[in-house]
Amino acid sequence: MTATPPARSTDLSLIASDMSEVDKVISARLDSGVPLVGEVARYIIAAGGKRLRPALLLLMCGALGYKGTQHFNLSAVVEFIHTATLLHDDVVDDSTLRRGRPTANESFGNPASVLVGDFLYSRAFQMMVQTQNMRVMEILAEATNIIAEGEVQQLMNMHDASLDEAGYLKVIRSKTAKLFEASARLGAILTNCPPATEESCATYGRSLGTAFQVIDDVLDYDGNAAEMGKNLGDDLREGKATLPLILAMQRGTSEQRLVIHNAIENGATEELDTIIQIVRDTGALAGARAAAAQEAETAIAAISDFPTNEHTTALLQLAANLLGRRH
């Protein structure tokens, strides 16, 4: 039984050499006969980011004792899929800032961003086919499809102030958590683990991804724009009813509910300061963080009987530290 470690910095240095191999794959597979493809793709990938999905796959492989090299290719695949969703998301959301600099659509225009996102999706599928593993292809194909469904559902939910917590969670488990789940599950598949272990990996990834998105939504009202590398209040401007707002409307006065309701319906940020105060005063931020903590605990419990090694410890730390993230 692996004990839950105290919260401290997650040590990702043990996968630094693995991540360097992933970067080599990414660089090689971004080559295209069309210069703009590589230019736009490298622009967003070079912006940095947390690389959590490939890190999750690499850590899970390490925890389960994988000895091959296919995890480098698949880590690049999940990063390409994730990057494609970012390119498309920023166009849909009309975002202008990501990771502290102008979005790709702001720099290159919407058409280039959409089409390069399509290129990254298709390149990811080329790469996954090369594994010649039908189970790998099933997992990634399903994940990509569910992510797309989640994106469409979120679009349908825009400016809907009646969205409840169940509807919110359904979207983020599709749109965000599904790729975390797939990344973790791939570690079990590559190591030929039994179905029960694969499901434990999937539970860990799904819960981690859900907690990650809830905290991301909290930071839209409790973060620092400079630290996050994006604008505060973007979710409100886009008319997204995220968990902090849903809880604030449940807990607030009729006047407070009306302020938030109107802001969601109209995508208005004029009352942003007032709304930030409401989500604090009603305990909605604390409530959302508690929901994320519950998901993190589920992730930790899912791998509590994994082999005791540095990679398992890092996975436990990753879940424990998620609640303290500021960007």
**CATH code, domain carrying 68:** 1.10.600.10
Look up tokens 């360097």; give the residue: 20
Kindly provide the b/e burial profile for residues 84-120, where b requires at least 16 CB atoms within 10 angstroms of the residue's own CB: bbbbbbbbbbebebbbeebbbbbebeeebbbebbebb
Distance CA 104, CA 260 (A): 31
When pLDDT is cut at 50, 70 and 90, the band that residue 38 belongs to is confident
Q: Is residue 149 part of a domain?
A: yes
When pLDDT is cut at 50, 70 and 90, the band that residue 182 belongs to is very high
Q: Is residue 159 part of a domain?
A: yes
pLDDT tops 90 at residue 125: yes
Of 8-12, 56-60, 129-133, 141-145, least confident by mean pLDDT is: 8-12
- The domain total for the chain is 1
When pLDDT is cut at 50, 70 and 90, the band that residue 100 belongs to is confident
Q: Compare 50 and 265 and report the one with higher pLDDT.
A: 265
Encode pLDDT of 307-316 as tens digits.
Answer: 999 999 999 9
pLDDT confidence of residue 209? 98
Domain boundaries, position 231: 13-324
pLDDT confidence of residue 1? 39
Q: Is residue 76 part of a domain?
A: yes
**Encoded tokens for 197:** 């272990």
Q: Is residue 232 part of a domain?
A: yes
pLDDT tops 50 at residue 283: yes
DSSP string of 220-264? HHHS-HHHHTS-TTHHHHTT---HHHHHHHHHS-HHHHHHHHHHH
pTM of the complete model: 0.92
When pLDDT is cut at 50, 70 and 90, the band that residue 282 belongs to is very high
What single-letter amino acid sits at 112?
Answer: A
Q: Is residue 3 part of a domain?
A: no
Q: Is residue 83 part of a domain?
A: yes
Distance CA 107, CA 97 (A): 10
Q: Compare 49 and 115 and report the one with higher pLDDT.
A: 115
